[in-house]
Structure 1
Amino acid sequence: MRSTMMNDQLSITDVLEHGQRWNAQREVITKTADGWRTASFAAVAENAARLANALQSLGIDGDQRVGTFMWNNQEHLEAYLAVPAMGAVLHTANMRLTPEQVAYTINAADDRVMIVDASLAELFVKVLPLLTSVHTIIVNGSVEATVFADADITVLDYHTLVDAASPQRVWTIGDERNAASICFTTGTTGNPKGVAYSHRSIVLQCLGTSTIDTLGIGNRDRMLVLVPMFHATAWCYPYTGFWSGADIVLLDEFLSPAAIIDAIQTFGITFANGVPTVWNDVLRILRAEPHHNLSSLQRVVIGGAAATTALFDGFDEVGVRIVQGWGMTETSPLVTVGRDSRGVDATTAASQRLSQGRVLAGVRIRVVDPDSGDPLPDDGRSVGELELRGPWIAGGYLGDEGSDKFHDGWLRTGDVGTIDDQGFVRLTDRAKDIIKSGGEWISSVDLENVLVAHPSIRDVTVIGVPDARWDERPCAIVVFEDGRDVDVEELRVWLVGRVARFWVPENWITTTALPRTSVGKIDKKDLRSRHAAGEFEMHRSTSKLPSEA
């Protein structure tokens, strides 16, 4: 027996039209060099229609790809809406990759038109000679005529093009399984791999993140979107905000801790997001300048790397709740959220908040033995690789690359950890980063989380280095707070009683900054390579550790 329900297709068109009609007066606010500019959702939707008509005049009349090379701003949001709703496919190119990597992704996506922010034009010029499919560049903002003078390609001005186009548009509603946008992974091995999100997967992710048990985004919110819009549809926040009626605040090229605080205070931001690095920098300013008022800010969702106890505690002190989420490019991206359960004691609540979170309804998750692939129990103790499947989980990559990332219909995340009987996930490491010393596993993530709580340490990471006796031992790479420099022996002693004794590193490196990937994660591959090449001065101590108190 079949149901009597309608079979309407899920589509970005629904997001656009609902936001235009029912959230017309909500605002998109973008930072500029000398202030802020504001546009209503109705005006953004009208510009999206104009952009779609302009793109059609440039030959985009099917599922061709349109790329962006842009910051978080109003025009990028217009492309987010226009391109998928017209039946084309949006590719958000990552400006933080090398020119060769950017060109690889544009060519692999087969982009025909690129929309480029003026402030990024000189950077994009380095990519141009490597492109094989792009025939037109649309520049958002003013650039010197000389910038593209040597480019054998059509260059148009965004606002001139959009303003001249008709605001009338009959939007496309196609098969919900069709691609809506493309994002490439930012892994540290090989070329980036393309993930094509469907209309269905994006809409379901928006619904999933709007529930009270996840992020509870709704029309009472003013959201500050710090996650780059080139990365995993900015965790779907632009779409969720436009659909639900949450005002959207964007910082364009002016992302800084001071700008974040200014936006929160000026616009009464209720919801924000980003990687831990950004919010650690914000916390430092708040401690140095305690007069700032963040009372409107109800929740900050942290992702991209594990948040530390120190970050949670620091924001608790100023009345802001940190919520940890976990996901990846291949998962649209959110699959778990760290909200504590009803009726648990304070210790359990703190543990649940510090976990990667509880699995979202709609996602299937399991932990498997990394050698045999056999499922392990959800007991909070059995450690293995996490695997996922569901309606917003990738089942493959563009060009059928990376087949080893998929196992028996499941996505292999490469993350190692546990799942408890309530669905809370706790990561212990990336599969490629876990350290095996003398046959025993050492979690670099757990060791990092303990070390970063030391008052003199600003940033830290741990990598495995070869050891003649134990095969591999941990090496801590530390960035100290300004004006502080702690002896290695003191740090080793400080770790006693906080971690297992065999976890305490003998090997230490101090540096002024840690290298990061394009999405803010510490680049351990780079650190391992530099260590192997002898670029670091390593301090080694094998002195006897004191007994625990």
Structure 2
Amino acid sequence: MDGLMQPRPLTIAHILERAERLFAHKDVVTASAERLTYAEVAGHVRCLATALDSLGVPAGARVGTFAGNSRRHLELYLGVPATKRVLHSINIRLSAEHLEYIVTHAEDDVVFVDRGLLPRIWPSADRLPCVRHWVVLPDGTDTAIPADPRILDYDELISTAAPFEGSFEGAFSLADENLASGLCYTSGTTGPPKGVLYSHRSTVLHCLGTLAAGLIGLCESDVVLPIVPMFHANAWGLPYGAMMAGASLVLPGASADPAHLLGLMEAERVTVAGAVPTVWTGLAPLVRDHDLSATRFLLGGGSAVPSALSETYRAAIGVPITHSWGMTEISPVGTIGGTRTQHRDASAAEQLGVRAAQGQPLPLVNVRIVDVETGEELPRDGNAVGELQVAGPWVAGGYFRVDADGSFTADGWLRTGDLATLDAEGYLRLVDRMKDLIKSGGEWISSVELEAAIASHPDVVEVAVIARPDPRWMERPVAYVALREGGAATAEELLAHITPMVAKWWLPDEFVFRATLPKTGTGKLSKIALRDAARIA
């Protein structure tokens, strides 16, 4: 017997119209000090809808964005999927080779690009014949715009378009909730980038996950600052979650300058912010110089957050950086860390250990660990280490136009490539990426744990541990380290610092000091670049 409930579809159009109707007065603040309401943003979206029609962009077409975190990018986040097109957010830090590959693979029909970023992508324009229009988003810069009929101005396009009348949500039927809404490509660290194609249903369910109380718990009284780029896995769902909850949004542009970001947090009384650990590391020395008393939640993701970094913030403003874990394939948030009620009476050391974990799964997300060789599920005892696999309604079941059967199990779980433990309370602790484990003398060394030990030294700002071939042991760990300004730690001091923390045979054979370590396009430390440099050396 079926239930008798209304079969209303789950769509991004609902997020848009909910914000327009219920939270019209709430603010969207941008890095240029522009302040618009959700009502004004929604008005621009209604004009964008008819502008896309006038450009002949068909339903289902991919619409690329090459932009920072801005109000105009937010309008595209809403207007493109609400009109049954597919938002393809493009990493602005991609090489020309990868950029051209994914735009061609996605067959983007039109690309919206920040004016200041146009020089990065325009040299590829003639090699991207699928793109019929290039729409420039004003961003406060005066970058020269080539004289080309394919180039249009966003504000002119919007100002001359008649607004769409009626309900976006009304255009969707139940079946349409499974239409593609967004497209993000993975970083391509183990081959060509792969496209993850989100649906309206998966995006809305993930959005509701960010509202779950006791986890991120976005709510109407929040002021949300997505420092994580809007091209990085939908900015971790923070823009959609903020609008669904009715929270105000602060969009910092493309700048990661610490003074700029902390100034926004202070001036706008930001309550929730999310960024990768390298950004939080850059902000840490200036945190005490700003009034961040409104802050209630700092989210870290993309890579492991060193406990020492998280505790720096807890000591400075009373709010630690909360671990999360996810992937582009998981929309992207899968787990959220932090202590729960059962930890109230735990010792300070025990609570620190809990905060160091990647956390518990969001509602509707299932995780398991399996034996790498046999595929058998392993116990949740906090000790067994296996490959992490995940399933849920906002987890990818395949890749866009790519046969990647090896990425999924026979029963439909996503193989993450991460090695992890799960304990009896469901806390996930990452051990390492399978490809980053170091096998020395037949035994495994976790680069993640070794990095955490080194990062606990007060002079260390960044650290990455990679394997170096060794004729006797097969592989040995080498640590690349960047010290804080004024830091004077030597290799001998770092070795002495970590010796009590790890097994003797885990100790790195060498510490290589650099002013800064290479990053990927999403701001994570790039071990590929370090491995390449090690091979050349």
Structure 2 length-normalised TM: 0.95
| Contact 1:100–1:127, Cα closer than 8 Å, also in 2 | no
Q: What is the CA distance between 1:272 and its match in structure 2?
A: 0.5
1:395 equivalent among 389, 394, 397: 397
**Paired residue for 2:333?**
334
| Contact 1:226–1:274, Cα closer than 8 Å, also in 2 | yes
Q: Does 1:168 align with 2:164?
A: yes
Please give the secondary structure, in 1, of the residue aligned with 2:34.
strand
Please give the secondary structure, in 1, of the residue aligned with 2:274.
strand
Please give the secondary structure, in 2, of the residue aligned with 1:108.
helix
Please give the secondary structure, in 1, of the residue aligned with 2:156.
helix
Question: Which 10-residue stretch deviates more, 460-469 or 399-408?
Answer: 399-408
Question: Which 10-residue stretch deviates more, 137-146 or 6-15?
Answer: 137-146
How many residue pairs match? The answer is 526
**Paired residue for 1:422?**
425
Tell me the distance in 2 between the aligned counterparts of 1:497 and 1:486.
Answer: 17
Cα RMSD of the aligned pairs, angstroms, is 1.5
Summarize the alignment of residues 281-292 of structure 1 with structure 2, pairs less than 5 Å apart. 281-286=282-287, 290-292=288-290
1:378 equivalent among 373, 377, 380: 380
Query: 1:53-104 CA deviation, whole Å, 9 max, x = no partner?
Result: 1011111231111111111000000000000000111101111001121111
Please give the secondary structure, in 2, of the residue aligned with 1:285.
helix
Tell me the distance in 1 between the aligned counterparts of 2:354 and 2:142.
Answer: 53
Summarize the alignment of residues 395-474 of structure 1 with structure 2, pairs less than 5 Å apart. 395-408=397-410, 409-474=412-477
**Paired residue for 2:260?**
259
Tell me the distance in 1 between the aligned counterparts of 2:341 and 2:144.
Answer: 62
Q: What is the CA distance between 1:238 and its match in structure 2?
A: 0.7
| Contact 2:419–2:433, Cα closer than 8 Å, also in 1 | yes
| Contact 1:85–1:173, Cα closer than 8 Å, also in 2 | no
Letter in 2 for 1:352: V
Query: 1:270-327 CA deviation, whole Å, 9 max, x = no partner?
Result: 00010011111111123xxx34211011110100011111112111112223211100
**Paired residue for 2:47?**
50
Tell me the distance in 2 between the aligned counterparts of 1:398 and 1:28.
Answer: 33
Q: Does 1:37 align with 2:34?
A: yes
Runs of 5+ in structure 2 lacking a partner? none
Query: 1:147-170 CA deviation, whole Å, 9 max, x = no partner?
Result: 323x5x521111111011112334
2:492 equivalent among 469, 479, 489: 489
Letter in 1 for 2:507: V
**Paired residue for 1:7?**
7
Q: What is the CA distance between 1:193 and its match in structure 2?
A: 0.5
Q: What is the CA distance between 1:400 and its match in structure 2?
A: 2.6
Q: Does 1:250 align with 2:251?
A: yes
**Paired residue for 2:354?**
352
Tell me the distance in 1 between the aligned counterparts of 2:141 and 2:290.
Answer: 37
Question: Which 10-residue stretch deviates more, 524-533 or 346-355?
Answer: 346-355
Query: 1:491-519 CA deviation, whole Å, 9 max, x = no partner?
Result: 22222211111111122212221111011
Tell me the distance in 2 between the aligned counterparts of 1:297 and 1:143.
Answer: 31
Question: Which 10-residue stretch deviates more, 194-203 or 492-501?
Answer: 492-501
**Paired residue for 2:183?**
182
Task: Give the percent of matched residue pairs that are identical in Structure 1 and Structure 2.
Answer: 40
**Paired residue for 1:76?**
73
Summarize the alignment of residues 102-121 of structure 1 with structure 2, pairs less than 5 Å apart. 102-121=99-118
Tell me the distance in 1 between the aligned counterparts of 2:49 and 2:264.
Answer: 31
| Contact 2:66–2:90, Cα closer than 8 Å, also in 1 | yes
Please give the secondary structure, in 2, of the residue aligned with 1:14.
helix
Q: What is the CA distance between 1:130 and its match in structure 2?
A: 1.9
Q: What is the CA distance between 1:143 and its match in structure 2?
A: 7.7
Cα distance, 1:169–1:370 mapped onto 2, change above 3 Å: farther
Q: What is the CA distance between 1:487 and its match in structure 2?
A: 3.1
Tell me the distance in 2 between the aligned counterparts of 1:360 and 1:104.
Answer: 33
Structure 1 length-normalised TM: 0.93
2:86 equivalent among 84, 89, 99: 89
**Paired residue for 2:311?**
313
**Paired residue for 2:299?**
301
Q: What is the CA distance between 1:145 and its match in structure 2?
A: 9.3
Q: What is the CA distance between 1:144 and its match in structure 2?
A: 7.0
Q: What is the CA distance between 1:404 and its match in structure 2?
A: 1.7
| Contact 2:464–2:481, Cα closer than 8 Å, also in 1 | yes
Tell me the distance in 2 between the aligned counterparts of 1:187 and 1:447.
Answer: 25
**Paired residue for 1:542?**
none
Please give the secondary structure, in 2, of the residue aligned with 1:176.
helix
Q: What is the CA distance between 1:339 and its match in structure 2?
A: 2.2
Letter in 2 for 1:22: L
Q: What is the CA distance between 1:223 and its match in structure 2?
A: 0.5
Cα distance, 1:180–1:374 mapped onto 2, change above 3 Å: same
Tell me the distance in 2 between the aligned counterparts of 1:96 and 1:429.
Answer: 25
Query: 1:111-133 CA deviation, whole Å, 9 max, x = no partner?
Result: 11111111111112122122131
